[in-house]
């Protein structure tokens, strides 16, 4: 349906539709097509039965925690000295649970006498690429307002930001000429030929100088580049098929935002206010005000309520709490509680979107091909099509399971964190699961294969039981989610 809408709303079709005969019947003319889809956006969403928790509102957090513990998830989390946070946003409730620890000093230093700190639902987790959906939302809000065009070339505004900051180079100086005509939409959809930054260089810099905040200018120039690697991946073509996951395009989109707003430096741009309308931020039923951060300079320890997180760096594990929290301006610098992430996708692409309008939410879900370097996901405009067969180990061929087999959202990782953030149309629920370590986990001395996905599987099993109650609804929850740890 979305592919059909994409064709039918192209400029050459819109100029000739509706025909005179259709106008006579509907009373609409060609200028009304966008308004028509805004008014009827709900009609193009999945036709599933909405379910609601059967537990009373005051007990929902406790019920979720009890269900998570019943799967064995809590024991695995505590035995591995990590934190695990779960949030579910329904039309009426924010349901939250935290397991394990927000700080476990003995994990990196067995001789430490400092006791672990229990995880809290208000903890903030560095969530890496979740940032891309916030950047996309900010861009699409400007498109809705008519301040920029989605098919505008991106470089003029991006270069304006660099000029405002006193840089003497342009993006044309740094990249092949094919980038010059790249549009905002192509950057959003990861369809350009830009190559990704060289992650080993970033990791090495984190080891050499943990407090070094790698600036956007450094990402663009030499620090994160491999000198033996090309900067463009598809020859002389402006766009590439299939698309390839690439953070550098989102850095350029954030430069577009900076060029449009005229901020004096990258550190002073308010990413939250650009991405989320002020009335939504101010909603007392949301936690955007106090649990959504965009890291700029300084270590994670300089920010309130940020959880410790652990990455394996030879010869052992390291706590990155006192290292730079920046992780890539505009594509990796968000810190959020699980509740914020669940709220965000519910508010962005749910049945009654509040961050963008219904037409824009649909437009953001125009899926491209499978990303060539990123598992099985397809990419829209700052959104991932996330199959639960991968992230929840759901057997979507089980009877009745197919309508529940996908969600829309964005995963995000930092060194040592792994977050899965999604809107499930079938349940009309925003869901977030976050963990403070993404390396191999153990269960009674045995390695857990696909560790993160295994924990998400157990989490989904608990969430589905919470939302669907003892009545398993359209499918058998316990057998459809194939978690090896149960």
Task: Kindly tell me if the per-residue pLDDT of 384 is higher than 90.
Answer: yes
Q: What is the pLDDT of residue 441?
A: 74
The arithmetic mean of pLDDT across residues 19-35, rounded, is 47
CA-to-CA distance for 324 and 321, rounded, in angstroms? Answer: 8
Task: Kindly tell me if the per-residue pLDDT of 118 is higher than 70.
Answer: yes
Task: Kindly tell me if the per-residue pLDDT of 33 is higher than 90.
Answer: no
Residues in the chain: 486
pLDDT, tens digit (0-9, with 9 covering 90-100), for 411-460: 999 988 999 999 999 999 999 999 998 766 777 666 676 678 889 999 99
CA-to-CA distance for 272 and 276, rounded, in angstroms? Answer: 6
Mean pLDDT of the chain: 86
The arithmetic mean of pLDDT across residues 284-309, rounded, is 96
Give the burial string for 149-173 (b: 16+ CB within 10 Å, else e).
Answer: ebeeebbebbbbbbeebeeeebbee
Task: Kindly tell me if the per-residue pLDDT of 170 is higher than 70.
Answer: yes
End-to-end CA separation in angstroms for the chain: 38
The arithmetic mean of pLDDT across residues 106-133, rounded, is 95
For residue 281, which phi and psi values (nearest 5 degrees)? -60, -40
pLDDT, tens digit (0-9, with 9 covering 90-100), for 38-57: 545 544 444 444 555 555 55
Task: Kindly tell me if the per-residue pLDDT of 235 is higher than 90.
Answer: no
Task: Kindly tell me if the per-residue pLDDT of 189 is higher than 90.
Answer: yes
Q: What is the pLDDT of residue 196?
A: 87
In this prediction, residue 354 has a pLDDT band, given cuts at 50, 70 and 90, of very high
CA-to-CA distance for 304 and 298, rounded, in angstroms? Answer: 12
């Amino acid at each position: 349906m979305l592919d059909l809408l994409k064709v039918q709303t192209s400029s050459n079709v819109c100029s000739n539709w509706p025909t005179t005969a259709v106008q006579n019947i509907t009373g609409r003319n060609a200028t009304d097509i966008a308004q028509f889809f805004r008014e009827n956006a709900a009609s193009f969403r999945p036709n599933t039965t909405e379910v609601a928790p059967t537990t009373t509102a005051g007990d929902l957090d406790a019920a979720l925690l009890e269900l998570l513990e019943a799967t064995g998830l809590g024991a695995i989390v505590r035995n591995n000295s990590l934190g695990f946070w779960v949030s579910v946003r329904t039309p009426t409730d924010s349901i939250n649970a935290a397991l394990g620890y927000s700080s476990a000093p003995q994990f990196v230093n067995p001789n430490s006498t400092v006791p672990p700190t229990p995880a809290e639902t208000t903890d903030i987790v560095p969530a890496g690429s979740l940032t891309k959906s916030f950047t996309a939302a900010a861009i699409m809000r400007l498109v809705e307002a008519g301040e920029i065009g989605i098919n505008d070339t991106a470089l003029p505004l991006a270069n304006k930001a660099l000029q405002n900051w006193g840089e003497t180079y342009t993006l044309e100086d740094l990249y092949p000429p094919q980038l010059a005509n790249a549009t905002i939409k192509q950057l959003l959809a990861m369809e350009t030929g830009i190559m990704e930054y060289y992650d080993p260089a970033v990791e090495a810099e984190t080891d050499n100088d943990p407090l070094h905040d790698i600036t956007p200018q450094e990402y663009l120039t030499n620090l994160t580049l491999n000198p033996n690697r090309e900067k463009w991946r598809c020859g002389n073509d402006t766009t590439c098929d299939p698309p390839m996951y690439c953070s550098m395009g989102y850095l350029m989109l954030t430069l577009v935002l900076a060029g449009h707003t005229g901020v004096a430096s990258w550190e002073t741009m308010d990413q939250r206010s650009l991405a989320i309308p002020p009335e939504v931020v101010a909603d007392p039923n949301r936690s955007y005000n106090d649990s959504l951060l965009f890291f700029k300079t300084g270590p994670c320890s300089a920010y309130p309520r940020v959880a410790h997180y652990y990455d394996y760096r030879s010869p052992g594990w390291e706590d990155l709490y006192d290292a730079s929290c920046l992780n890539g301006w505009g594509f990796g610098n968000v810190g959020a509680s699980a509740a914020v992430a669940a709220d965000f996708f519910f508010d962005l692409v749910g049945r009654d979107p509040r961050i963008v309008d219904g037409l824009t939410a649909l437009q953001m879900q125009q899926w491209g091909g499978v990303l060539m370097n990123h598992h099985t996901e397809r990419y829209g405009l700052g959104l991932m099509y996330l199959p639960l067969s991968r992230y929840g180990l759901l057997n979507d061929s089980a009877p009745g399971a197919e309508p529940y087999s996908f969600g829309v959202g964005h995963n995000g990782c930092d060194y040592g964190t792994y977050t899965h953030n999604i809107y499930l149309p079938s349940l009309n629920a925003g869901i977030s699961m976050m963990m403070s370590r993404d390396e191999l986990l153990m269960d009674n001395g045995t390695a857990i294969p696909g560790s993160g996905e295994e924990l998400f599987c157990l989490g989904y099993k608990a969430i589905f039981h919470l939302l669907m109650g003892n009545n398993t609804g359209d499918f058998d929850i316990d057998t459809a989610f194939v978690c090896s740890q149960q």
